[in-house]
A and B are shown apart, each in its own frame.
Chain A
Amino acid sequence: MSKYLVNLKVNNIPVTVEEGTTILDAARKLNFHIPTLCYHEDLTVAGNCRVCLVEVAGSRSLAASCATPVSEGMEVLTNSKNVRSARKNVVELLLSEHNADCTKCFKNGHCELQTLSSEYQIGQHLFIDLVKTKDKIVDISSPSIAKDDSKCIRCQRCVRTCSELQAVGALAVINKGDHQRISTFLNKPLSEVVCTNCGQCINRCPTGALTERSYIEEVWDAINDPSKHVVVETAPAVRVALGEDLGFEAGERVTGKMVAALRHLGFDSILDTDFTADLTILEEGTELLTRLKKALVDKDEKVSLPMFTSCSPGWIKFIEHMFPEYLPNLSTCKSPQQMFGALAKTYYAQKKNINPKNMVCVSIMPCTAKKFEAGRPELRDSGYQDVDYVLTTRELAMMIKQAGIDFMKLEDMEYDSIMGESTGAAVIFGASGGVMEAALRTAYEIISGRDVPFTNLNIVPVRGMEGVKEAKVMLKDVKPEWGFLEGVEVSIAIAHGLANAKKVVESIKNGTANYHFVEIMGCPGGCIGGGGQPIPTSPEIRQKRADAIYAEDEGLPLRKSHENPEVQYLYKEFLGEPLGHRSHDLLHTHYKPRKRY
């Protein structure tokens, strides 16, 4: 249906937009900047902060431009005397209940409130300081998320994120009036509620009220301790986003510079989580084929299909809380981060002659849920905590700044061996659909002896930002040993963001969908949109990061996980075969149900 066009004037300049457009968007079309705080592109409109006020001719009150649709003949002023003075009052009010200790704040320099108050030159406080009158409520119960109420401006972006994008609903508005604040079910600490640690709320919090729990100091200490061998691993999605915090535009690939920076920071071994992403494909692919064989040949009714991917720790905690009956459907593979940790402290230590007791494994992740994952009691199969510290992309950027490294001018460097080699299939783990694509490239070839039937190995139907993607792959002319798959149409689905994950699980539950294999990533867009990635985030930024991921893949000489020579060597020297004994001990695990409250 085509939409009506509406003519209006913003600051006396005529503009024509579709009906239903907000004043904010109409003004942006003319490049007039209107400040916002509660508005976020990824979320529904709240209209509660009131900094986006504009004057509409003929109206006694000001309009919240983010929440007001245009109408024919409207005349809008975005910077009138009334607007400026009301907006300034609003910012002054926000600051009067704000614990503005910017110098100690993780958000210093990236804070929307700070930017606004400097734009409005708010120095001397007009109003009475209300911070003192309130209890200082800081929640650091979670290993991933820190929540400081004294920095909260009650914009409710986090609440909307958690319910709209993630369908978790761990955060809620409680109380009214001067006692209104953002809290959790029954006011419990974040560690005791359904929070998945995904960090999506952090990515959308305009202030320092929600941040990651930072482990930068612990990592510096390890680096500075001569008795420790500090191994660092970097996740696929970090290399396409880190640049944003260090002066580059979104979408810049900085893999080589990142490796160089890590070397300057003083890490002893610089390795790649991509290596274990390739390994995951071999383990998980074999697991899938085994399950299919049990179901199709052995007619084993107890085999759980569809099989769900298990690399996203936000998703793992979500399914533990919300759909524990589907835990058997999870692949038993650990996430690449945890496979890496388990191998670092066994295989790598052995090969490099390092006492694993003296090894510290640090991982650089686009994710805050990985911090929680690293501490899981299930994940200590090396005999130690497999991964010691998890830093987000943002924390790594901060360390690079602290070290005074001129990141933009660094010469590219290469990862160390023997867990630093990777293929394009591993890189695309960072984008929604990537695990599926990597798995198909390998599984199809194992079964048929041929490349996947897509131009240049690019399985386009599983890519893109649609919330739930579905596809079918017909298996024909398979190798004799895979005869039971001849003519089988494999049905797959991909979901990213937990609200979409919920949709998929529910459609499986109520029988409206039937899949063999489902990829689920907890964050919008996959890991490129992870809760530990540079802020801000938007559909456009996530798209640029995804484009960079696929460009990185296309540029690599090896693009199929089973061709990774270091992975082949690992099986030959250490693991034996996929799903073998050692794999079973080090690379696989099981999760347990959790209550909803």
Chain B
Amino acid sequence: METKVIKKVDTIFDVVECNYIQVLEKTLAKTADEIILDIIDSGLKGRGGAGFPTGLKWKFTKNEENAVKYVICNADEGEPGTFKDREILDRVPEKVFTGMAICGYAIGAKEGYIYLRGEYNFLKQDLQMKIDLFNSQLADRDFDFKVFLRSGSGAYICGEESALFDSMEGLRGEPRNKPPYPTVAGYNLKPTAINNVETLVYVTMICRMGPESFKALGTKDSRGSKVFSVSGDTPTPGIYELELGMPLNQFVDEFGDGDTKAVQVGGASGHCVPRKKYNDTIIGFEGIPTGGSMMIFNSTRSMYNVLHDYLEFFTEESCGQCTPCRVGCQQLLKGIEAVKKGDKKPSYLEDLKKLAATMKIASKCGLGQSVSNPFNSIVDNFREEIIY
């Protein structure tokens, strides 16, 4: 397996180098197909968590025949321990708008919506001003595309793409059945390309630098760099853009406090990696993918408490519609409590792991499907801490 040495990069937040209007003008001189080919060629995968190849998503949306299509920028950022999208929208929003406009041109959409996390409403006024300016710049160039801003409803589940559409349509945000996928029937049941904030910035960067420079970073399966939100027991918490494909031990050397016993990669719905596995864990789509959250725990932390917190979060944030997730989360939470108290035997953890496995294959959306990630990785690696 290809591994990288940790490398800090500065493409996202760099404002000097990037004149977004120039990028836009240069890009719009190409055909839609050329742009999509560039994005496919770059190997860019979605930065919102699921890691779907962005260029393919655009191609599917473009291929749908429909007079109305939409671009949506997912800025719901609800994953605990993630705060990178807020930083991007605060510091370089024009790069996001530009990515949306390029997407709109490529797929044939005239409207783009930013779905902004409810808690980020303090960004709204400033963002709206910048959007108005951006829209007028597009209008000046006779480019038929407009960006709109929408406030989120405050529920974690509304970051899930189909629940997000429901929420934008004024319904209760509940994940839909798939298929149909958003590329076929998304917002208002029209073909929709929904991308994470950061994904859209990389689109702008790829269009500026060309796919080759983007591909120069990262590995075969994980091209480019990505923004990480580093938190927990670290002397240097914050936002870092790092090359993908780095091994976890280097990350811990760089950011840990010298006593790191575990890293939760990918937030509450991600995996917990214990010290003994740092060396063979790659951060990237071939190893452990992450939407950007890296939570560092030192030896003072109780992994029971960590898991308990995560399960409480899921028990509350599950939309509640499907059985495996709604009831499963409650059972996992009550289950580890019972084992801790001695009301259930330690072997009950095996039943719970089976339940988590059922949730993974039987839940309707990514939330319920990913609860087994933290559950199994923490129970397997820190079993003693859960029981005693």
Task: List A contacts of B315 (CB < 8 A).
Answer: 177-178
Given contacts A48-B323, A89-B354, contact A130 B330 (CB under 8 A): yes
- B177 & A90 in contact (Cβ 8 Å cutoff): no
Tell me which of B179, B319, B329, B362 contacts A50 (CB under 8 A). B362
Q: Which A-chain residue is minimally distant from B352 (CB atoms)?
A: A127
Tell me which of A45, A48, A86, A156 contacts B361 (CB under 8 A). A86
Task: List A contacts of B314 (CB < 8 A).
Answer: 177
- B179 & A175 in contact (Cβ 8 Å cutoff): no
Tell me which of A51, A86, A89, A175 contacts B320 (CB under 8 A). A175
B381 to A: closest C-beta gap in Å: 23
Q: Which A-chain residue is minimally distant from B328 (CB atoms)?
A: A93
Tell me which of A45, A53, A127, A153 contacts B177 (CB under 8 A). A45
Give B312-351 as 1s and 0s: 1 = Cβ < 8 Å from A's Cβ atoms. Answer: 0011111111111011111100110010000010000001
Check A61 for interface membership: any CB of B closer than 8 A.
yes
Q: Which B-chain residue is minimally distant from A71 (CB atoms)?
A: B179
- A97 & B327 in contact (Cβ 8 Å cutoff): yes
Q: Which A-chain residue is minimally distant from B313 (CB atoms)?
A: A177
Task: List A contacts of B329 (CB < 8 A).
Answer: 177-178
- B322 & A130 in contact (Cβ 8 Å cutoff): no
- A47 & B177 in contact (Cβ 8 Å cutoff): yes
- A69 & B179 in contact (Cβ 8 Å cutoff): yes
Check A176 for interface membership: any CB of B closer than 8 A.
yes
- B318 & A177 in contact (Cβ 8 Å cutoff): yes
- B358 & A85 in contact (Cβ 8 Å cutoff): yes
Q: Which A-chain residue is minimally distant from B322 (CB atoms)?
A: A48
Given contacts A68-B177, A89-B362, A178-B329, contact A126 B321 (CB under 8 A): no
State the main secondary structure of chain A at its contact with B. Answer: loop
State the main secondary structure of chain B at its contact with A. Answer: helix
Report the Cα distance A278→B323, complex, angstroms. 50
Check B28 for interface membership: any CB of A closer than 8 A.
no
Task: List A contacts of B361 (CB < 8 A).
Answer: 60-62, 82, 86
Range, interface on chain B: 35 or more
Give A97-132 as 1s and 0s: 1 = Cβ < 8 Å from B's Cβ atoms. Answer: 100000000000000000000000000001110100
Enumerate B281-312 residues with CB–CB distance to A below 8 Å. Answer: none
- A154 & B321 in contact (Cβ 8 Å cutoff): yes
- B321 & A173 in contact (Cβ 8 Å cutoff): yes
Task: List A contacts of B328 (CB < 8 A).
Answer: 93
A549 to B: closest C-beta gap in Å: 37
Q: Which B-chain residue is minimally distant from A159 (CB atoms)?
A: B172
Task: List B contacts of A130 (CB < 8 A).
Answer: 327, 330-331, 334
Task: List B contacts of A173 (CB < 8 A).
Answer: 172, 174, 320-321
Task: List A contacts of B172 (CB < 8 A).
Answer: 172-173
Check A303 for interface membership: any CB of B closer than 8 A.
no
Q: Which A-chain residue is minimally distant from B344 (CB atoms)?
A: A128
Give A152-178 as 1s and 0s: 1 = Cβ < 8 Å from B's Cβ atoms. Answer: 011010000000000000001101111
Task: List A contacts of B155 (CB < 8 A).
Answer: 176
Task: List B contacts of A90 (CB < 8 A).
Answer: 323-324, 358, 362
Given contacts A61-B360, A177-B326, contact A154 B320 (CB under 8 A): yes
Q: Which A-chain residue is minimally distant from B343 (CB atoms)?
A: A128
Report the Cα distance A46→B177, complex, angstroms. 8
Task: List B contacts of A64 (CB < 8 A).
Answer: 177, 364
A243 to B: closest C-beta gap in Å: 35
Tell me which of A86, A97, A175 contacts B362 (CB under 8 A). A86
- A176 & B324 in contact (Cβ 8 Å cutoff): no
Most chain A CB neighbours (cut-off 10 Å) among B316, B358, B362? B362
- A48 & B364 in contact (Cβ 8 Å cutoff): yes
Check A67 for interface membership: any CB of B closer than 8 A.
yes
Check A49 for interface membership: any CB of B closer than 8 A.
yes
Report the Cα distance A506→B324, complex, angstroms. 42
Report the Cα distance A86→B360, complex, angstroms. 10
Check A180 for interface membership: any CB of B closer than 8 A.
yes
Q: Which A-chain residue is minimally distant from B337 (CB atoms)?
A: A128
- B362 & A178 in contact (Cβ 8 Å cutoff): no
Check B131 for interface membership: any CB of A closer than 8 A.
no
Enumerate B35-79 residues with CB–CB distance to A below 8 Å. Answer: none
B155 to A: closest C-beta gap in Å: 6
Given contacts A50-B362, A128-B338, contact A94 B323 (CB under 8 A): yes
Task: List B contacts of A45 (CB < 8 A).
Answer: 177
Report the Cα distance A85→B362, complex, angstroms. 11
- A176 & B318 in contact (Cβ 8 Å cutoff): yes
Report the Cα distance A156→B331, complex, angstroms. 22
- A177 & B331 in contact (Cβ 8 Å cutoff): no
B333 to A: closest C-beta gap in Å: 9
Check B369 for interface membership: any CB of A closer than 8 A.
yes
Tell me which of B174, B317, B360 contacts A177 (CB under 8 A). B317
Check A7 for interface membership: any CB of B closer than 8 A.
no
- A93 & B319 in contact (Cβ 8 Å cutoff): no
Report the Cα distance A60→B362, complex, angstroms. 10
Check B127 for interface membership: any CB of A closer than 8 A.
no
Check B363 for interface membership: any CB of A closer than 8 A.
yes
Check A96 for interface membership: any CB of B closer than 8 A.
yes
B372 to A: closest C-beta gap in Å: 11
- B179 & A93 in contact (Cβ 8 Å cutoff): no
Report the Cα distance A60→B370, complex, angstroms. 13
Given A61-B362, A177-B315, output 20 extra A-B contacts at Cβ < 8 Å: A46-B321, A48-B321, A48-B364, A50-B324, A53-B362, A60-B361, A61-B361, A68-B179, A85-B354, A86-B324, A93-B324, A96-B331, A128-B334, A128-B338, A128-B344, A154-B320, A156-B321, A173-B174, A176-B155, A177-B317
Interface residues of B, Cβ cutoff 8 Å to A = 155, 157, 172, 174, 177, 179, 314-324, 326-331, 334-335, 338, 344, 351, 354-355, 358, 360-364, 369
Interface residues of A, Cβ cutoff 8 Å to B = 45-51, 53, 60-62, 64, 67-69, 82, 85-86, 89-90, 93-94, 96-97, 126-128, 130, 133, 153-154, 156, 172-173, 175-180
20 A–B pairs (Cβ distance < 8 Å), ordered by A: A47-B177, A48-B321, A48-B323, A61-B360, A85-B354, A86-B358, A89-B355, A93-B323, A97-B327, A128-B338, A130-B334, A133-B334, A172-B172, A173-B174, A176-B316, A177-B316, A177-B318, A177-B319, A177-B320, A177-B326
Q: Which 8 residue pairs are nearest across A and B when measured between Cβ atoms?
A: A180-B320, A93-B327, A67-B177, A89-B358, A47-B177, A48-B321, A61-B361, A177-B316
